[in-house]
Structure formats: structure tokens, C-alpha cells
Amino acid sequence: MTSLTDLTLADARDGLRAKKFSAAELARAHVDAMIAARPLNAFITETPVIAKAMADESDKRIARGDARPLEGLPLAIKDLFCTKGVRTTAASHILEPFVPTYESTVTQKLWDAGAVMLGKVNLDEFAMGSSNETSYFGPVENPWRKPGDNRSRVPGGSSGGSAAAVSARFALAATGTDTGGSIRQPAAFCGIVGIKPTYGRCSRWGIVAFASSLDQAGPMTRTVKDAAIMLRSMCGFDPKDSTSVDMAVPDFEKALTGNIKGLKVGIPEEYRIDGMPKEIESIWTKGAEWLKAAGAILKPVKLPLTKYALPTYYIVAPAECSSNLARYDGVRFGLREKGEDLTAMYEGTRGAGFGREVRRRILIGTYVLSAGYYDAYYLKAQRVRALIAADFANAFKEVDVLLAPTAPSSAFARGEKTADPIAMYLNDVFTVPASLAGLPGISVPAGLSADGLPLGLQLIGRAYDEETVLRTAGVLEQAAQFTARPQTWWKQ
Amino acid sequence: MALDKATVTKIARLARVRVAEAEKDALVGELSGILAFIEQLSEIDTSGVEPMTSVVAMPLPRRDDKVTDGGKQDDILANAPEKTAGFFTIPKVIE
């Protein structure tokens, strides 16, 4: 029998129901793997005791024939989701002591569906970063390394701990959040699947806010089918989030028919950027050929404002961040640095509590929202954002789904891009446009680079049409036959 | 637009984030770089374009004006760095 940690979420689900193994055994295997994988620094807080208790409850349910959709399946939770009684840090010093007294809607839905919590995984501080290097708790190691090269690779970000945990097989799946690519880019860097659903599908309630008009939760898994299964349990209307959409949640697993005959797939010309590595271009071409061979019709489409998506994002996201993070004042929760008066306490707390990248974004956000600059920056960005959304709406008059690379490179070495914020921001060039328009996007592992690191392809769909995105992703996955996996160097 | 050190000091003050003097020079460069990057947007004609204020095409939901939650003083104070007699405490603001 394959090891329990090698199972897909779907196979683990079926195996539990067929009583081939128990939820307690499945949890134990993952807890052991999690402990063995500590060198990756993927977890901020491990919760093996909770995992055991939840798995025992699952075994009782299974025994009495009362299994729920995710019964007994061990998951890693990004440490941005508030979990009742379990420390939630957002990978920030300022929230280091924070223990929520409530549960986020998305995690509550997962527990209600029977899932088992392994712990809280690392991320870029407040989800601000593309390499998991801004975490107060230290960087996460990508389980993948270049063959014959011992240097650390970044796992991508911000959901880097989630991606590492799933890729290195110490969680069956993980939750992620995506503001400008934070699910899709780490999924690509670690050779797994990650889907950001349409904005409004998953409730944001109880997720530590970064940029509220962009933040969206989603699953990170090893297969498209697993993503479909987990996504269904995460979505749904929540009156506690004013942007949650009151809409039926489809059975996404049923959308995976494998049939894309006649589907119109758009190839956005503007994503062919200057200096794009050859291997990214060739995997993209390969992906298009795979879809064509499966009966899809390829069509070039124009998204003329693509190059302005990143600058727009780097106004909108910091503006919202500076506003959202105003709540960290040392009064109600988190860190407090003493000061001789109230202002000194605020400034000291926030100066000591936020890391460099977060401070930088708060400052940019404060500047673009300040008197005299609001119209020139923030309002301008909101107008351009409307035009970017209109570009996509036009493209989707002609095609059903868009195919593009997920990231402009494979996983880079640690420290390679930390000196230049703009170089780091450019990682999200292919993921940010769909985020601005609120559209669903998925990254599917498509192959390896010449030096042996995973490469991902991205599919972007119409709003609320995750089904077409997942169906097409299933076909890509089938064609790509991505079976490579990282060497388990951390076990030595 | 390039920022100078005085502006960085002013923004940091507005944002209530203490920035060490030694860090300000680096920030001047970094923030100016980011501003130059985002200023590309001035190339686009946006006259007559309505700003996008909602990602989801739906009216803001309303609820009945009823109290549905509360009585959670202990929960609310549970994470307070300092508290006294059921209140958050802060440094003295009135002499």
C-alpha cells in the first residue's frame, strides 16, 4: 500500500470510508511527517493534540456511517485564518501573542465538514510578499531544490508554508489566501495545484485582512480533483461578510468531466512580456497544444492594460493595507511597546511590531491616501482597475477561459530578490490582473524547468465560473502527467 | 515623484509607525522607486471612467437593525496587553 501521506485527498477520503485505515492513523502519519519536516519551517504552530481529538471524533462518525465530506482529512491552515483558542499570528511580531476567541468562517466550514487540523502554517507577514521571506518566524524552505545544488529555494508567497506542506506531503491539503497571487504563485513554485475562487465565493470573515477588495481564500492541493472537493466545503454565503455572494455552491467535483471539446481558450498576447524565460514560453505553448489536442479552440485575445495591472495593484493594495492595519495600535490585542504618551505608544508598538515590507506598504498606502495625493494615485488606480476589469469582460465575450503562465520564473534562490521591492513585485505580473478583476484563477503544475524546478500554468475564468476553470485544469493536469516530486533532503 | 527625508518622516508620523533615523535614507530610495513605478498610470487616459469601488456586482446587503450578538466582554478583553476593571487601559491622555 502507498504510504498514507502519499494519498490524494480524494483517495484518503475514499480509503477512510472503505475503512482501509482509520482517521487516527491518517492523522498520526501526517503529524509524524510534519515533525520530520521541521527543517522546512513550514509551521508556526503545530496542533497535534487537536489533530488527534478531531481524528478520533472522525473515526466515531465513520464507524456509525455518518461521515461528512472531508471527514478525517488532515489539513494545514495558513496562519492568517483565525482559529479559536489557537494562536493566530499572520506571521507578524505584532500579533505574536494573539489567541482568537472566535473561528473564521472558512475554517469553521472545514471543521463542520469533518476536516482535521494539523496546525497553522507560515506565510509572508500579513500575506505581504511573494517568497515567504518576510515572515517574522523566518523563511520557509521550498521542498524543491535544483538537483546537485543545496541552496535554499523560496516556496513563493505569501502562502509559502501551505504550498511547502502540501508539496512535501505532510498535509493532504492546505488553505491559502490570494490577494495578488498568493495561492497561485506558491502553488507553481512548489509543483502543486492552487485555486483562487471568484471574489465573494469564500467568506473573508475571521481572516486577518490585508487588502479587503482583493483578499480571497482558496484550497492548495496536489490534484485538481482535490481542489474541487475542498473548494466546495470552503465556499458559501456568509452574512458576516458584506461582500460574500449569496449564490448556490456547485458540486465542483462533478465539473471535472474531462470534456473540453469546443471550449474557447484565449491566449492573452500581452502576457508575452519582455525578458520572459524561454522555458516559461515553451511550457505555455505546450499547455495550449495540450488543450487543443483535447478539442479546445485556441484564440489570441487582447488585454491591452496588462502592463498597468501591477502599478494599479501597488496603489490599491497598500492603500487598503494602511487602512486595515490601523487597528494594530497596542490597545486591544497584540504587541504593546510602552511610550511616554499615547502617540509614542502607537508609534513604538507599530514600529517594533511590523517588519520592513509591511512598514513599507503602510507608508506607501498612507502616502497615496493622504490629502492632495488621493485623486492622483488612489482614485486614478481605481479608474484603471475598472478598465482592467473591462478588458477581461471583453475577452470573455470571445472565449470561455484564458491560459497563461502562473509566474515569470521558477522558484528563485533565497535572498535573490529581497534587495529590490520592484523585482519582487514583478513575480505577480501574471496573477495580479485577475485579482484586480476579482476573477477565479488556478495554477496547475505543468512540467519542470531545465534545472529541475516545477513550472505552473494558470487558467483564468469568468466570474463564478470555477467549474470551467476546474474542468480545463483537469484536462491540463491529465496531459501534463506531472509526477515529479521533491527529494526528501530534510529527512536526513 | 521622488520623496525626500522630510516627507518620509511626515508619512511615518501620519501612519504612526516609528522609523529609525538610520532607516530613513534607505526608505527614501525604496519608496521613491515604488512611486516612480506606480506613476506609470499617468500614461492612461481615464477621463470619463468611473472608479471601481465594488468587485462584486451587487448592492450592499442590509440587515435588520437588531442586536444579534454581544455580552462578550471577557472575549473582547482576552487579548488586551493591559486591562483594568473590565476596560482597556492606555497611557494617560488628560492631565
Which residues of B are less than 8 Å from A422 in CB distance? 33-34, 37
Which residues of A are less than 8 Å from B78 in CB distance? 99, 101
Which of A345, A367, A387 is opposite residue B91, by nearest beta carbon? A345
- pLDDT surpassing 70 at residue B1: no
Does the pTM surpass 0.90? The reply is yes
Three-state SS across A247-268?
A: CCCCCHHHHCCCCCCCCEEEEE
Q: Does B56 touch chain A (CB under 8 A)?
A: yes
**How do beta strands B87-88 and A264-268 pair?**
unpaired
Q: Is residue A373 part of a domain?
A: no
Return the CA Rg of chain B.
Answer: 22
Q: A84-110 pLDDT, tens per residue?
A: 999 999 999 999 999 999 999 999 999
Q: Look at A98 and B53 and tell me if their CB atoms are within 8 Å.
A: no
pLDDT band per the 50, 70, 90 thresholds, residue A63: very high
In chain B, domain spans: 5-42
Run of H or E including A401: strand A401-405
Domain, as residue range, for A184: 4-263+398-491
Shortest Cα–Cα distance, B55 to chain A (Å): 6
Active-site option among A135, A158, A233, A244: A158
Q: Could you confirm whether A182 is annotated as catalytic? A: yes
Total count of domains within chain A: 1
- Long-range pairs, A480-483, Cβ under 8 A, ≥24: A480/A287, A480/A290, A480/A444, A480/A445, A480/A446, A480/A447, A482/A191, A482/A445, A482/A446, A482/A447, A482/A454
Q: Look at A245 and B58 and tell me if their CB atoms are within 8 Å.
A: yes
Q: A463-485 pLDDT, tens per residue?
A: 999 999 999 999 999 999 999 99
Q: Is residue A314 part of a domain?
A: no
Q: A127-176 pLDDT, tens per residue?
A: 999 999 999 999 999 999 999 899 999 999 999 999 999 999 999 999 99
CA atoms within 13 A on the CB side of A41: 18
* A78 burial type by CB count under 10 A (0-12 exposed, 13-18 middle, 19+ buried): buried
When scoring A363, A382, A392 by the number of chain B Cβ atoms within 10 A, the one with the most, hence best to mutate, is A363
Q: Could you confirm whether A158 is annotated as catalytic? A: yes
Q: A261-309 pLDDT, tens per residue?
A: 999 999 999 999 888 899 999 999 999 999 999 999 999 999 999 999 9
Q: A333-384 pLDDT, tens per residue?
A: 999 999 999 999 999 999 999 999 999 999 999 999 999 999 999 999 999 9
Which residues of B are less than 8 Å from A425 in CB distance? 37
How far is it between the farthest Cα atoms of chain B?
A: 58
CB neighbours of A435 closer than 8 A, spacing ≥ 6? A178, A179, A180, A181, A196, A214, A216, A313, A441
**How do beta strands A401-405 and A454-461 pair?**
antiparallel
Q: Measured between alpha carbons, how far is A20 from A22 in angstroms, rounded to an integer?
A: 7
pLDDT at A325: 98
pLDDT band per the 50, 70, 90 thresholds, residue A423: confident
pLDDT at A18: 96
Q: B22-72 pLDDT, tens per residue?
A: 999 999 999 999 999 999 999 999 999 999 988 887 888 888 999 989 999
Q: Look at A421 and B56 and tell me if their CB atoms are within 8 Å.
A: no
Q: What is the DSSP string of A287-356?
A: HHHHHHHTT-EEEEE--TTGGGHHHHHHHHHHHHHHHHGGG-SSSSSS-----SSHHHHHHHHHHHHS-H
Q: Calculate the alpha carbon distances from A405 to A386, A417, B81 in Å.
A: 23, 20, 46
- Percent of residues, chain A, with pLDDT higher than 90: 96
Return the CA Rg of chain A.
Answer: 21
Q: Does B39 touch chain A (CB under 8 A)?
A: yes
- pLDDT surpassing 80 at residue B95: no
CATH number at residue A157: 3.90.1300.10
Q: Is residue A108 part of a domain?
A: yes
Q: Is residue A65 part of a domain?
A: yes
Q: Is residue A177 part of a domain?
A: yes
Tell me the average pLDDT across A233-241: 96
pLDDT at A275: 86
- A203, A238 in Cβ contact below 8 A? yes
Q: Which three cell numbers stand for residue A467?
A: 467549474
